[in-house]
């Protein structure tokens, strides 16, 4: 996400993405492993192609979490929003070979782009209806279905703050990410340009913790101990007029009870 407006800020955003995804970047390995078979980059958008839908969901969720964990260790954040779709993909030659090496098209590409563009704000990982159905067919022990959240009748997302396997939850790492989100909320929650993204990010964290509470209350408590709840309450009081903030504070209050 750019740090301002205009072409210069768009270049800043692209540079940030390139830095974290470079060969020696902190999360590059997560995009260069199974199940990804092909990788494409267009402007600041990434397209990853694989033939294992469940594996792709798990890998994407782990990538998003590790990016967020890295963000928690630095003063700036690279927020990415994505979507997973299931369907045909065709590889094609580039329109202008002097500036690109390959291209791709197909129903899965169109659906993923549409989901990413029309879904909610913040660093979300949406899944198509077909992918959600495949996830629900794999509801065995340790399955990723536990982090599938149906935002609405036609929109689902993965709560990537939580691991695909519930037995692998690490409250300390989740808490570090969650507290970093609190700091971002304090810094940008009232910003006229970025507010919606960071309010949605905090809402995402709270919804993830509500999901975790159904599985492991002790880990929720571990996360809450790392979050600066006083800071959230103080910021929230000044931002009650911002859409979504009152609901977030009510949900957070229910977590602390």
pLDDT tens digits, 7-19: 555 666 677 777 7
Of 90, 87, 88, 116, which Cα lies nearest the Cα of 102? Answer: 90
Same domain, 182 and 150: no
Q: What is the pLDDT of residue 201?
A: 94
* Residue ranges in 105-151 assigned as alpha helix (H): 107-118, 129-136
Same domain, 101 and 69: yes
Q: Which residues span the domain enclosing 76?
A: 1-165
Lowest mean pLDDT among 46-60, 194-208, 241-255: 241-255
The last residue of a domain, from among 165, 183, 202: 165
3 state DSSP class of 226: helix
Q: What is the pLDDT of residue 151?
A: 81
CA distance 201 to 188: 11
**DSSP assignment, residue 165?**
S
Peptide bond into 120 cis (omega under 30): no
How many domains are there within the chain? 2
CA distance 51 to 35: 7
Same domain, 109 and 64: yes
Q: What is the pLDDT of residue 154?
A: 74
Q: How much of the chain, in percent, has pLDDT values that exceed 70?
A: 93
Q: What would the pLDDT profile of 68-77 be if each residue is shown by its tens digit? A: 999 999 877 7
Same domain, 188 and 141: no
Same domain, 155 and 212: no
Same domain, 106 and 220: no
Same domain, 128 and 10: yes
Tell me the whole-structure pTM to 2 decimals.
Answer: 0.89
């Amino acid at each position: 996400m750019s740090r301002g407006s205009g072409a210069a800020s768009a270049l800043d955003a692209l540079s940030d993405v390139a830095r974290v995804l470079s060969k020696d970047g902190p999360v590059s390995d997560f995009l260069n492993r199974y199940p990804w078979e092909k990788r494409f980059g267009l402007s600041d958008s990434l397209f990853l192609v694989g033939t294992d839908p469940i594996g792709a969901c798990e890998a994407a969720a782990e990538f998003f979490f590790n990016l967020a964990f890295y963000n928690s260790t630095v003063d700036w954040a690279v927020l990415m929003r994505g979507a997973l779709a299931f369907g045909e993909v065709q590889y094609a030659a580039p329109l202008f070979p002097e500036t690109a090496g390959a291209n791709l098209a197909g129903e899965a590409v169109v659906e993923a782009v549409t989901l990413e563009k029309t879904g909610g704000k913040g660093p979300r990982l949406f899944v198509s209806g077909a992918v959600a159905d495949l996830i629900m067919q794999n509801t065995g022990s340790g399955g990723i279905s536990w982090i599938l959240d149906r935002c609405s009748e036609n929109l689902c997302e993965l709560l990537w703050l939580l691991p695909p396997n519930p037995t692998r939850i690490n409250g300390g790492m989740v808490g570090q990410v969650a507290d970093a989100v609190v700091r971002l909320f304090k810094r940008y929650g009232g910003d006229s340009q970025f507010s919606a993204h960071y309010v949605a990010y905090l809402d995402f964290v709270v919804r993830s913790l509500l999901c975790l509470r159904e599985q492991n209350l002790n880990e929720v408590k571990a996360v809450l101990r790392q979050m600066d709840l006083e800071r959230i309450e103080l910021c929230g009081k000044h931002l009650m007029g911002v859409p979504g903030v009152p609901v977030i504070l009510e949900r957070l209050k229910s977590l602390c009870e």
